[in-house]
Amino acid sequence: MIFIIFGTQGFAGSLKDSESASHSDAASTCEIVDTYSYPGFQIIQFNLAVLSHYSYMLISGNQALVVDPGRDIFTYLEIAQKENVDIKGVLLSHSHADFVAGHTELAEKAGCPVFISAKADAGYPHTPLKDGSIISIGSAELKVLETPGHTLDCTTSIVYSTVDGEKTQAAFTGDTLFAGSIGRPDLMGGTISAAALASMSFDTWQNKLSKFEDHVTIYPAHGAGSLCGAHLSDDPFSSIGRERQTNPYLKFSARSDFIAAVLEGLPEAPQYFKHNAALNKKGPELIDWKTPPVKITPDIKLTDIANAYIVDLRDAELYAKGHIPNAINIALRGRLETWVGIMIPWGVPLVITGSQEEVDEAAFRLNRVGYNTRALLFDSWVAESLPLKTVELMAPQTLYEAMKAGNAPIIVDVRLPTEWMGLRIGQVINMPLNQLAQLSGKLDPAEPVVAVCNSAYRSSLALGILEQKGFAKVTSLKGGSQAWIDAGYPVFGSDSQKSQTIQSTVVKKEIKLPGRISPAELKSLIIDLPGTFDLVDIRPPSAFSDFHLPQSMNVDLADLLSNPSHLVGTGPLIIVDRDGTLAMMAAGMLFNKTKREIKALRGGLEGYWSESEFQGVIKETAQPEKTLSVPAVAPSQNSVPQPVVPVPQTPEKPKKKSAGC
């Protein structure tokens, strides 16, 4: 096996990794970021780093309003007591999906109402909000704006004070607008397309938020590391003016450009999101936070994942020295909540193992994402002399020497594709952790494999996944890519190139563009070469159901842009839409990610029928999008391929494929 290593020897610096940033003790507790003072009110900002979750307490006089609280509400109650204020309400910017909110807990403890959009269809006692609703807290007032895009029930609440001439000072933007990003539009589970919600986000900015003055401070619900959006900034707050100037999504003046940019590169939403959203909508049950998790006794049957999913909470090195067979390592010092939500199926029997302190903390924290657990003390397993599995971690030097000698194991990088493209340690395979169980089927379980990530947190987790799949010779790079870089070993990727000295000569970058296929050429392919290409139609399912080209399949635009399966194939990938606009943009985004031939239908289906000399009557539909139906007068037998028109029926909701994380 030959490895070709590109890059700069001695690449300096550290990997920017929101995962590693959550490994401190403080990251797992709700902490005050800062207090911001305005005429007539102040805002206290809280951060729960392991979930990248910001929440707030607005105080005016002796009254307070808590905005987007987490489920464990103790910090808010303590601050309210310290500030000698009464909590008069809980404001939810929308129905959250990435954590179980604390609205029912606070309503119970503080005896206050819960404010949320009327469009949330909440199943708990609440005060419904609509566009223009006012919430008064002391001398401060919050005016509610309906700002759909991330979800249909998203709101933004602007804040001003009656002692300051009602001048807008701040805005709680929830997941509508982040520092450096916007809320992802693909969490509605197929009830509405991601493109339709992205279009609403465009209107929200253009028609509402952009109208505010530059000085208005925005306070979002999330920061860097959150999966509720892409490319969020580390900054805990921003301003309308700053976002107007620097937010990459807000620079697009054309709706189609905006939609395409928003849909590109979204990380896959964890499977637990839909369950948390349902809990928040129904109203989470109250938790007895003082009750420890139920303890279970050691039993060899627990090693069968049909009986239990075991999560080992200890650090990577202790896990490697000995762990329960088939247990996966999701260390306590990290994004435990999110990784359990990603890797552990909802509703399965979950067992956590570690020390008494570790299982107590983990059980407490997993309530934040709705997981109920049982606890197994690791020492009790050892005391029963039950089997353990061990792993010998691979030092960077050992791996480097093996790579030079040409006898290295298969290297599997379990980070996100964007991280892998940015910087990697050699000729490695990218299998994102959330897809590893499926993608590992491409590997030979008998061959040695070393898993790699930035800090060894995710690669240690990967060990358990590979063991469950029957891999007998698995290990993890000790210390991760960061240890590799610290040792001065070479890397390659776009980030390594950035570390090199900029040359005085400016090199012009060659921009490659996708091809366009004419209607006539597509006709010929359909008639003469069926099965030699993939034809995807990115229109809404309802429009596709009305009519579509033979051999075409309906694919959601978000899935097309994020699912790597579309990047492989022996023949060209041809994208069609209504008028060719979105298809060309999607083709452009995919073109530079693959060697596969990518083409867009010039002029879309409108151009197809026009050039095909179909002179029929355009069918009226209830869809807002202009669509074309089958011609009233059938073409001749030797004419162009006729569209496939299914029997009229209620179309099924599209089932979205898993996207790359």
Q: What is the pLDDT of residue 622?
A: 33
- Domain-located, residue 219: yes
Task: Please tell me whether residues 365 and 458 are part of one structural domain.
Answer: no
Task: Please tell me whether residues 484 and 372 are part of one structural domain.
Answer: no
Task: Please tell me whether residues 255 and 347 are part of one structural domain.
Answer: no
Task: Please tell me whether residues 254 and 168 are part of one structural domain.
Answer: yes
Total domains, the chain: 4
**Alpha carbon distance 612, 523 (integer Å):** 9
Are the C-beta atoms of residues 127 and 365 closer than 8 Å to each other? no
Task: Please tell me whether residues 83 and 128 are part of one structural domain.
Answer: yes
Residue type, 633: V
Task: Please tell me whether residues 166 and 205 are part of one structural domain.
Answer: yes
Q: Does residue 626 register a pLDDT over 80?
A: no
Which H or E run contains 43? strand 41-48
The two structure tokens encoding residue 343: 């890797």
Are the C-beta atoms of residues 355 and 379 closer than 8 Å to each other? yes
**Alpha carbon distance 623, 540 (integer Å):** 10
Give the confidence band of 432 by pLDDT, cuts at 50, 70, 90: very high
Give the confidence band of 612 by pLDDT, cuts at 50, 70, 90: low
The two structure tokens encoding residue 534: 């993939």
Return mean pLDDT, the chain: 86
For tokens 């987490």, name the residue. Answer: 70
- Domain-located, residue 505: no
The two structure tokens encoding residue 336: 């435990």
The two structure tokens encoding residue 518: 């004419």
Give the confidence band of 421 by pLDDT, cuts at 50, 70, 90: confident
Domain ranges, residue 370: 288-383
Task: Please tell me whether residues 410 and 534 are part of one structural domain.
Answer: no
- Domain-located, residue 225: yes
Task: Please tell me whether residues 424 and 557 are part of one structural domain.
Answer: no
Across the range 13-17, mean pLDDT stands at 53
- Domain-located, residue 56: yes
**Alpha carbon distance 352, 355 (integer Å):** 10
- Domain-located, residue 418: yes
If one compares 612 and 222, the residue with the highest pLDDT of the two is: 222
CA distances from 115 to 60, 107, 128, 331, 479 (A): 18, 10, 6, 36, 46
Query: Residue 535 belongs to a domain with what CATH number?
Result: 3.40.250.10
Task: Please tell me whether residues 472 and 558 are part of one structural domain.
Answer: no
Task: Please tell me whether residues 515 and 615 are part of one structural domain.
Answer: yes
Query: Residue 91 belongs to a domain with what CATH number?
Result: 3.60.15.10
Task: Please tell me whether residues 114 and 248 are part of one structural domain.
Answer: yes
Task: Please tell me whether residues 491 and 543 are part of one structural domain.
Answer: no
Q: What is the pTM of this model?
A: 0.74
- Domain-located, residue 341: yes
**Alpha carbon distance 321, 537 (integer Å):** 51
The two structure tokens encoding residue 80: 């309210």
- Domain-located, residue 5: no
pLDDT in tens, 151-207: 999 999 999 999 988 899 999 999 999 999 999 999 987 789 999 999 999 999 999
- Domain-located, residue 19: no
